[in-house]
Structure 1
Amino acid sequence: MAATEPALFAPPTHADTRSARNRHKHWWNVLAVALAALWAFPIYWMINSALMPAERLRSTPPLLAPLEPTLRSFGEILGDSLFWRSLGFSAAVTGLAVAISLVSAVLAAVALSRFTFFGRRGALVAVLVVQMIPAEALFISQYRMLDGWGLLGSVPGLSLLYVGLIVPFTVWMLKGFVDGVPVELEEAAMMDGCSRFGAFFRVTFPLLGPGLVATGVFGFLVAWNEFTLAYVVLASGDRLTLPVWLRTFSSNLQETDWAGVMAGSTLVAVPVLIVFVLVQNAMTKGMVAGAVKG
């Protein structure tokens, strides 16, 4: 009688399965690192160019690392009074625009989510249509409007335009967060003696913390980085936002100071990084508070 032959296709063991999973996980990690490096390269190149002497920027082949790093471009910018005035102007415009946008968006989102009224669906569609209108189509009317009100080149004037730019999308975002809070929580609070206004601010509003942070970050990024509206509206040479201020490094008669542009871009990005660091903590606290109160 012939001896039993070994099976040609043995079933995979637990060790083989785990090894295959580890190989797949390894390649996914490699892909993630490669994509992260690709995404971070423009940021590295900006900082690298800011630290490089101006005469080295156009060297051939390009230098991937500053052999003689210098902070001269940063020093020139930090010593420029126009940079600090532009920083203060951008901070004031962005802060005012985000604050007004959040208040308006919260009220609109609650009304669209909690109340049923004639034209509610049309209002939702109108918000979406307004978001789809190109900003360039409104430049002339916006300029004439601010000119008639005497708000050209002012913080309230530019903030008003940014509010119109930010509010439509933030209404849609916040409406989703309000829809996610069960209306039964407000009804239970009203049964315990709260008014509708009190139930909203005692129960619903604290649970909207993550949504308010997310929409606030969106509004901050739009207002902080916006260029075209500010360039059209700000007629005065000494009242500029930071994106418009960056344009002062180039002109039609002189070549662009790329070292200054890169150093200025790096400094403009610093407040954005600070906001994101603060937002991470705020979002964590908001989600924890929502879980406790829900």
Structure 2
Amino acid sequence: MFLNLEMEVKTESKVKMSTFSKLKRRRKLIISYTILSFLSLPLFLMYVWLFFSSISTDMIAGIIPTNITFENWRFLWENVEIGSKQLPSIWKATWNTFVLASGLTVMEGIISVMAGYALSRMEFPGRHFLLRSIILLHAFPSVALLIAVFYVLDTLGLIDTLWGVMLVKAALQIPMSTYIIKGFFDDVPWDVEWSALIDGCNRINAWYQVVIPLVKPGIAAISIFSFLAGWSEFLLLYAFIFDEKNVTLATYLQKIIGDFQMVDYGLLTAAGLFYMLPVIFFFIFTQKSLMQMNMGGSKHV
């Protein structure tokens, strides 16, 4: 009898503790989401304002849209004229932006994966020095190298080409991507690779068939960052691209601004939204891979 009573008391105590822990966890979640929602609200309202501004000719108090129109989106079906200047096709700019971002993603991904594996698995002279200085290489601002890079691209005949900008951007991005992917390789046990070698694989086959599948989240992460960096690039394009056939969406927006006394803000907001939408959708579909990002052997969620 006393034993049954004691068991009932313990069971009731466990239920109360479980309920209390659930309530405590739920309260923390509510507080966290409330704070995040409050901090994100200004950003959300700015996107809403951009949308309203892009479909109206006037805004009451700068907030409430009036005279709904799609005239600001005319760049989708015709070449826009600002003053005496005609802007290039938005679809040509979109294609160039996609080519730049995709090319940068492929180039940076291939080089970073090979370099990250070498730094993680192989011993060679200067390896430790390279590991210490790799972040320093990434820290160099591109604006400080513009003149030197201009002379290099001009000598190679790559000035005013998307390939030239792609090479420069990749060179600036690869150190950080290599550091990130190295962390993923560090998390792959040596035993897995040794097992493949014992089973008859050579070093390349073991790397490609066994190790690479295990670091796919890392490859996805650096690919996403590379694509976004290429899509949003402006400075290098503005400095090294002169021909309008190589215009991208970033420089297209700069051309809309042009003379600050003649800015069509409705057109600018519509083009800005058009520029952002692919990135927003791209992030929505790839955020799971970003949440698995790994740097230097320690996970960052």
Q: Shorter-chain TM-score category? A: 0.7 to 0.9
Indicate whether 1:209 and 2:189 are aligned.
no
Pair 1:237–1:76, CA change in 2 (3 A): closer
The number of residue pairs the alignment matches comes to 269
The CA deviation at 1:72 is 1.5
Q: Is the 8 A contact 1:189 1:203 kept in 2?
A: yes
Q: How far apart, CA to CA, are the structure 2 residues paired with 1:283 and 1:34?
A: 23
TM-score by length of 1: 0.83
Q: Deviations over 1:81-105 (max 9, x none)?
A: 5211111111111111110111000
For residue 282 of structure 1, report the CA deviation from its aligned partner. Answer: 6.7
| Cα deviation 1:92-149 (Å, max 9, x = unaligned) | 1111111011100001100000011111011123322211111111101111111122
Which of 267, 277, 281 aligns to 1:270? It is 277
Q: In structure 2, what is the Cα distance between the partners aligned to 1:251 and 1:48?
A: 23
Q: Which residue of 1 aligns with 2:75?
A: 76
Amino acid at match of 2:152: M
Distance 1:100 1:27 in 2: 43
Question: Does the aligned pair in 1 maintain the 2:105–2:223 contact within 8 Å?
Answer: yes
| Structure 2 gaps, min length 5 | 1-14, 80-87, 292-301
Separation of aligned partners in 1, 2:207 and 2:248:
37
Question: Of the candidates 252, 261, 275, which is equivalent to residue 259 of structure 2?
Answer: 252
Residues in 1 aligned to 2:278 and 2:285: alpha-carbon distance in whole angstroms: 11
2:140 alignment counterpart: 133
For the 8 Å contact 2:188–2:211, the answer to whether it is kept is yes
Q: Is 1:105 the counterpart of 2:109 in the alignment?
A: no
Structure that is richer in strand per residue: 2
Structure 2 SS opposite 1:68: strand
Letter in 1 for 2:55: L
**Shift in alpha-carbon separation, 1:179–1:51, aligned structure 2, 3 A:** same
SS where residue 118 of structure 1 aligns? coil
Which of 128-137 and 267-276 deviates more?
267-276
Distance change in 2, residues 1:20/1:190 (3 Å): closer
**Residues 179 and 66 from structure 1, CA distance in 2 versus in 1: closer, same or farther, beyond 3 angstroms?**
same
Superposition TM-score, scaled by structure 2 size: 0.81
Contact 1:77 1:264 in 2 (8 A): no
Aligned residue identity for 1:62? G
Which 10-residue stretch deviates more, 212-221 or 30-39?
Answer: 30-39
Are the aligned partners of 1:77 and 1:260 in contact in 2 as well (CA < 8 Å)? no
Q: Which amino acid aligns with 1:266?
A: L
Residues 221, 289 of structure 2: 8 Å contact kept? no
Determine the structure 2 residue equivalent to 1:4: none
Change over 3 Å in CA distance of 1:112–1:265 after alignment to 2? same
1:282/1:137 CA distance change after superposition, 3 Å: closer
Equivalent residue for 2:230, pick from 197, 219, 223: 223
For residue 296 of structure 2, what is the aligned residue in structure 1? none
- Segments of structure 1 that go 5 or more residues without pairing to the other structure are 1-12, 285-294
| Aligned residue in 1 for 2:49 | 45
Alignment identity in percent?
A: 25
